[in-house]
Structure 1
Amino acid sequence: MDTIYTHFLRLAADEQLSLKMKEPVQVTIEHLSSILCCTPRNVKFIVRKLEEQRFVHWKPGRGRGNYSTLTLLRGFNDVLEMHFSELLCKGKLKEAIELIGSVRMDDVLRDKLMHTLHQQMGFRSHTETASGQDTLRMLRSRQLGDLDPASVYTAFETYLLGQICNTLISYDAHTDSFLPALAHTWESSNDHREWIFYLRKGVRFHDGRWMTAQDVQASLNRLFEMNSSSLWFYRDIEHTDIIGDYCIRFILRRSNRFLLHLFSCIRMIVLPADHDQNQTLIGTGPFQITEKNEDVIKLSAFDGYYGIRPHLDQVHIWFLPEPTLNDRYYELPGTYQLSMPGNSQEKLNFIDYPSLGCQYMLFNFHMEGCHHQLPFRQAMRIIYDPLTLVNDLGKNRITPACSFLPWRSAAENWSSVSLEDAKSLLEQSDYQGEPLLLSYKKNKDSDVAEWLQQRASHIGLKIELEPFDDYVDVVKKSTAPLILREEILEDDWQYGMIHFFKNQANSFHEYMTPEIQSAFDDLLDVFPQLPDSGRMELLEQAEGLLRENGWLLHGCHMNRKSELHQSIYGMQTSEFGFLDLSKLWIKNP
């Protein structure tokens, strides 16, 4: 329902009226009727209300053909901020978030409202709520993506699945080992062709049903039924045998030493055997979904969780209508107090965590052009120089990359390169001065794209920019020959690396030719059969193949930053550097 605020904002924002503070403007009832989307009769009622509350001064015209005059008594920004604050005070968080995305405003005011909004995010203690529950509220700068484990492809959604569901086992990055989860133990034959998992008893799904081996078998079969992009990993499984409700055996066509990695990854989340992808996701994890729509997803602690129940009772994740800030916020100030931006940092701590993976450039080989020639790609290697990129742009770009793995990049002997060398290589290609399109994520990579455009111009290479703002469709198709992307690897980096090379739904496979993909298929075919050292060597060879041919250009390793209130305890990072919500707890004053 429209309020007195929205009526005022419509008037003040109308470009034809061009209203200014305390400057009378001639208007007609008919024009106001169009702006306010109401009848002429209601215009007079609305204007009278606005005048009563000292928003405007109204002087009606006398007689036919005479204009009335309207004078603003309050500024657009002041009323917008007042309306925003009132929505927050009344607990209308959804309407407040929509207001930020739907009304045109200057960057200064938008930043101010965003700070105020972040002050409203965070913790609601049991002393403030009648229910006696502890609730953490978070903001995300894009809509929620796919939450199906068979097809999920974005980091946040993968992380969220790990809070709602469980796998048979879990990977511990600190010890580089596997820990029991839904399976309490497991064993394999000497030739690694037969694996048996023994399931925990008493594990319940969120709807109260017991988890059994039938659910595990159905979860694996579901990957094949849905033609998951990760089927390559499970191709060696010939069949499964259910040995009672709490034991399942996997028979493989050939030896597979990598199987534990596959049963700890998000693809092998265990869902109910009759799972309906059109219904609310049901898992066995520490949190269950209680509400999900385009504006918010609400999670509640699952009291029947087989592990340790979360300290938090509720987690509400709100999604902004458009990208704003890239940082992640887990703030915990007083819920009903509005703090101004100048004071917003008083009780906040910042934590940084370098993420595995890197930003990179690849080439769309399905499009014709000079990028098919190695000298051109070598020229782009110099233009997109990792060391210069980090030195020039900085921010969360912490180190230059020659690999997805930071420790491999750290061993590189980095030195400056000259654009003159790039110019010489460009002359060896068939580049004829035509503009080349560069696809990149709007806001997130805009500075890199503009930096590349400027450096390319110094050697006569014309780059035009194609930003896209679809933060859900990471593998958005483009006809651009140059593509900027970022890959964030799982904590289980071996799985993350092989998944990058073999996942049929990512950007690498989207833009490479079948011949290039075949080269990696041949190289990596024996990967699951090798011991740990052999797998690492093979992944290094695969990256060497990328560098040697210039099929992918590594850029820089990124640092992730989160903002936290000092009252948050139990901070442990989960997958992709996000905080493990199930471990967080709040120290009340």
Structure 2
Amino acid sequence: MDNNIVHFLRLASALNPASRLQEPIPVTIELLASVLCCTPRNVKFILRKLEDKGCIEWQPGRGRGHKSGMAFMRSVEEVLEEHLQELTGKGKIKQGIELIGLPEVNGPLQERLLSLLNMHMGYHSETESITGLDTLRIIRNRRMEKLDPATVYRAFESYLIEQICSTLVIYDAKNNSFLPGLAHMWEANPEHTSYIFYLRKRVRFHHGRFLTSKDVKETLLRLTDRQSPVSWHYRDIVSVELQGDHRIRIDLARPNLFFLHLFSCVHMSIVPYDVDFLHQPIGTGPYRLLDYNEKVLVLAAFDDYYAIRPLLDRVEIWYVPELGYNDRTYQLPDTEPGGTGAGEGECANLSIDYPALGCRYIMMNFRRNGRQHHPLFRQVLRMLYHPEALVRELGGNRITPADSFLPWISRRTLWNRPSFEEAEKLLRSSGYQGEEITLAYASRREEEREEAEWLQRRGARIGLNLRLAPYSHFNMGELLRQADLLLAEEVLEDDWQWGMINYFMNRSNHFYSLLQQSQRDEIEAQLQDFAGVPEAAGILLLERAESLIRDNCWVLYGSHLNKRAQLNQSLFGLHTGSFGFLDISRLWIKTGFAETAQGGGIGTGMSNSDSVE
């Protein structure tokens, strides 16, 4: 951090010059030494530096008893905005984030600086260099978890692993089929108890070694070694046989028609057997990890990628806490949000909406004693947290009422409107005595806060004492001890069947953690034969498992959500990957023709959708 900026902020904070700009303020060297925590001699050196930068004017006192005068020539806002522009212009994003995080920077000023920083994110091209690297910078306001395919459970971390690693097969959501990945072919015996995968040859890991069948076997074993929460899905594997460097056979204890889904999911991203992925994330994916620390994650295009090399050379994902934005912006240089593009009247930035697969909902904490264990009380909550009323009264990104994670199932529901009188009568029948019920929600999500307060008001109308508990950093142990209810959001993968079965059976997700063992056993009994039946029968089992949690009000569905992305119309190759994120491996930038002498230009419009978390 620039010491001159720190000194200027300390002086401004101590002397409060906001209403006295360019007006001399009486001070003494001794006072300034105290404010700046330095010697009187150093004070004069610091003042000279600030004068040279045009931040202050210094008038030393003449003679004993005469105070000196210091005038602030520029406002704090002006100085900080200029310095942030200077830092980001030089690519010093880390220093810019540190500037915004200074204790003296808060409130509206912090919001302005964050907006300014966001404008310097997006696409940057080193057109004057020999390499001509194209870089995309993105802001995140949640700290990233460790990257580990075996244990990953957050959507964004899963998305990053998919950029670094590859799987044996790739699920094609459009056609509900599988495409070759690291395996160029596969086959199963008629009973679906044995599978053979044929690996591509000369596929390189990021550290240079070629992929072999041993890497696939060790990746499978790693799920057990790391006590992966998805191990349940692989429990029927009885043997793994290496039939050469590029062929592997897997034998099962019973038929499994769902087996390819297990080898296209992020948890079976193939990692090298000779590297500890936790300390050195290495895969065969389109991007290799260049840097990963508490401030930034940097991806670089992998030139030896076995498929098509990414057109975008570098991606920087910067962590800026408490940013507060719900939309992700992919901003290009020399444009302003909402400005115009090359053609007269054309909008250079497009707001793209898309419906997310999944919904927002409320989970019950059955691991904590409380009224939520009573079926009638849960029915009351169901009446209060009414999906149709939620969408009708709050609107926003809530597009349709949810009665399932899957929108096409929700559309089957015919909604009634229970009265508050009915809910109040049922509340008394549940034995509720006015005790406090705690609802936890993520403070960084504005719509969750809005929803929680809406439910609190509705509860108060019938005498329900609902306490809201916002959290900024999720802690499952603390939630289990203190909260009765949890407001959450689930976004499913493109492979929604895998997403649903994994939601029900993943040992590390919030839903599983909040259930009692008897409830988990009920769900597992419903899904025990899921992998061994044809697809139509498997879908029916998923619907029955969801009916179990819906009919018993173990979860309360709220609304299906609309996601939004701000896109510049010069972004091409817009394709969504898993969980609805922008597939950066296919992104490129079209700069267009230079303007003619008459100032004319050629504009181009895009309507492809980008997705955000």
Compute the TM-score of the two structures, normalised by the length of structure 2: 0.90
Aligned to 1:585: 588
1:565 equivalent to 2:568? Answer yes
Quote the Cα distance in structure 2 between the aligned partners of 1:226 and 1:166: 19
Q: Could you tell me which amino acid in structure 2 is paired with residue 385 of structure 1? A: H
Q: Secondary structure at the match of 1:477?
A: helix
Tell me which moved more, 94-103 or 375-384.
94-103
| Cα distance in 1 for residues equivalent to 2:478 and 2:199 | 39
Alignment of 1:67-106 (within 5 A): 68-105=68-105
Q: CA deviation at 1:341?
A: 5.8
2:610 is matched with which residue? none
Alpha carbons of 1:20 and 1:245: their partners in 2 closer, same or farther (altered >3 Å)? same
Contact preservation (8 Å) 2:24, 2:70:
yes
Corresponding residue SS for 1:241: strand
The 5 Å alignment of 1:521-536 reads: 521-536=524-539
Which one of the candidate residues 515, 520, 531 is aligned to 1:517? 520
Deviations along 1:232-283, one digit per CA (max 9) or x if unpaired, are 0000111100101111111111111111110100010101012213432111
The residue type equivalent to 1:194 in the other structure is S
Query: Which amino acid is 2:404 matched to?
Result: S
Query: How many percent of aligned residue pairs carry the same amino acid?
Result: 48
Measure the CA separation in 1 of the matches of 2:104 and 2:397: 29
Distance 2:28 2:370 in 1: 58
Are residues 1:553 and 2:552 paired? Answer: no
Greater shift in the superposed pair: 388-397 or 265-274: 388-397
1:41 alignment partner in structure 2: 41
**Structure 1 position 140, deviation (Å):** 1.6
2:461 is aligned, of 458, 461, 468, to: 458
Relative contact order (alpha carbons < 8 A, sep ≥ 6): 1 or 2 greater? 1
Distance of 2:95 and 2:255 partners within structure 1:
56
Q: Quick check: 1:97–1:321 contact (8 Å CA) kept in 2?
A: no
**What displacement does 1:440 show?**
0.6
Bigger drift between 33-42 and 282-291 goes to 33-42
CA-CA distance at 1:500 after TM superposition: 0.7
AA at the equivalent of 1:72? F
Q: Structure 1, residues 461-519: CA drift from partner, whole Å, max 9, x if none?
A: 12222111127x68973421011111111111111011111001111111111111111
One-letter amino acid of the counterpart of residue 260, structure 1 = L
Bigger mean CA offset, 271-280 vs 440-449? 271-280
Answering whether residue 465 of structure 2 is matched by residue 443 of structure 1, we say no
Matches within 5 A, 1:288-437: 288-334=288-334, 343=339, 346-437=347-438
> Cα gap change, 1:319/1:128 in structure 2, threshold over 3 Å: closer, same or farther?
farther
Alpha-carbon distance in structure 2 between the residues aligned to 1:124 and 1:579:
17
Give the CA deviation at 1:354.
1.4
Question: 1:188-226 deviations in whole A, cap 9, x for unaligned?
Answer: 112111111111111111111110100000000000001
SS at match of 2:263: helix
Query: Does the CA-based 8 Å contact 1:219-1:268 persist in structure 2?
Result: yes
1:269 to 2:287 alignment: no
Question: Structure 1 regions of 5+ residues with no counterpart?
Answer: none
User: Amino acid of the residue matched to residue 392 of structure 1?
Assistant: E
Supply the distance in 1 between the matched residues of 2:119 and 2:477 (Cα, whole angstroms).
34
The letter for the 1-side match of 2:479 is K
d(CA) in 2 for partners of 1:256, 1:476? 39
Give 1:576's aligned amino acid: F
Q: Is the 8 A contact 1:357 1:557 kept in 2?
A: yes
CA offsets per residue over residues 502-557 of structure 1, 9 Å max, x none?
A: 00111111111111111111111111111101111111111111111111101111
User: 1:180-219 maps to which residues of 2 (within 5 A)?
Assistant: 180-219=180-219
CA contact (8 A) 1:172 1:178 kept: yes
Q: How far apart in 2 are the matches of 1:452 and 1:230?
A: 34
Please tell me whether the aligned partners of residues 333 and 347 of structure 1 are also in contact (alpha carbons under 8 angstroms).
no
Provide the residue aligned with 1:477 in structure 2. Answer: 479
Instruction: Name the aligned partner's letter for residue 290 of structure 1.
Output: L
Q: Match of 1:141?
A: 141
Note the alpha carbon deviations across 1:410-449, whole angstroms, 9 max, x for none.
Answer: 2211233322222122111222222221111013021112
C-alpha separation between the residues in 2 aligned to 1:480 and 1:101? 31
**Alpha carbons of 1:124 and 1:526: their partners in 2 closer, same or farther (altered >3 Å)?**
same
**SS of corresponding position for 1:102:** coil
One-letter amino acid of the structure 2 residue matched with residue 247 of structure 1 = R
Within the alignment, does 1:498 sit opposite 2:501 as a pair?
yes
Which whole-Å CA distance do the structure 2 matches of 1:566 and 1:19 have between them? 41
C-alpha contact 1:475 1:510 (8 A) present in aligned 2:
no
Check the 8 A contact 1:141/1:321 in 2, yes or no. Answer: yes
**CA deviation profile, 1:114-151 (whole Å, cap 9, x unmatched):** 33323322222352444222222222222222210011
- The alpha carbon displacement at 1:17 in A equals 5.4
Whole-angstrom distance in 2 between the partners of 1:178 and 1:28: 76
In structure 2, what is the Cα distance between the partners aligned to 1:124 and 1:357?
34
Code of the aligned partner of 2:412: A
Q: Which residue of 1 aligns with 2:20?
A: 21
Give the residue type in structure 2 aligned to 1:533. Answer: A
CA contact (8 A) 1:475 1:507 kept: no
Q: Does 1:248 align with 2:248?
A: yes
Cα pair distance change 1:56/1:282, threshold 3 Å: same
Q: What's the CA shift for 1:381?
A: 0.8
How far apart are 1:5 and its partner, in Å?
Answer: 2.5
Alignment correspondent of 2:611:
none
Cα distance in 2 between the residues matched to 1:99 and 1:141: 16
Deviation of the 1:11 alpha carbon = 2.1
Could you tell me how far 1:67 is from its partner in structure 2? Answer: 5.8
- How many residues align? The count is 583
Instruction: Please tell me whether the aligned partners of residues 19 and 71 of structure 1 are also in contact (alpha carbons under 8 angstroms).
Output: no
Q: State whether residues 20 and 72 of structure 1, in contact with CA within 8 Å, keep that contact through their aligned partners in structure 2.
A: no
Equivalent AA in structure 2 for residue 148 of structure 1: D
Post-superposition offset of 1:332: 2.2
What's the offset of the Cα at 1:104? 4.9
Q: Which amino acid aligns with 1:138?
A: I
The answer (yes or no) to whether the contact 1:332–1:564 under 8 Å persists in 2 is no
Which one-letter code corresponds to 2:224 in the other structure? Answer: F
Kindly indicate whether the alpha-carbon contact (under 8 Å) linking 1:19 and 1:25 is maintained by their aligned counterparts in 2: no
Q: Spell out, residue by residue over 1:354-396, the C-alpha distance to the aligned partner (whole angstroms, 9 max, x if none).
A: 1111111011112111111111111111211111211222222
Describe the SS at the equivalent of 1:4.
helix
TM-score norm. by structure 1 comes to 0.93
| Unaligned segments of structure 2, at least 5 residues | 342-346, 593-613
Which has the larger displacement, 313-322 or 254-263?
A: 313-322
CA distance in structure 1 between the partners assigned to 2:118 and 2:298 by the alignment: 17
Whole-angstrom distance in 1 between the partners of 2:318 and 2:584: 15
Q: What SS does the aligned partner of 1:42 have? A: helix
Amino acid at match of 2:367: H
Equivalent residues of 1:199, 1:246 under 8 A apart: yes
- State the secondary structure of the residue aligned to 1:264: coil
Q: Distance in 1 between matches of 2:104 and 2:542?
A: 49
Q: Which stretch of structure 1 is more off in the superposition, 45-54 or 503-512?
A: 45-54
| Closer, same or farther: CA 383–34 of 1 in aligned 2, 3 Å | farther
CA drift at 1:103: 4.6
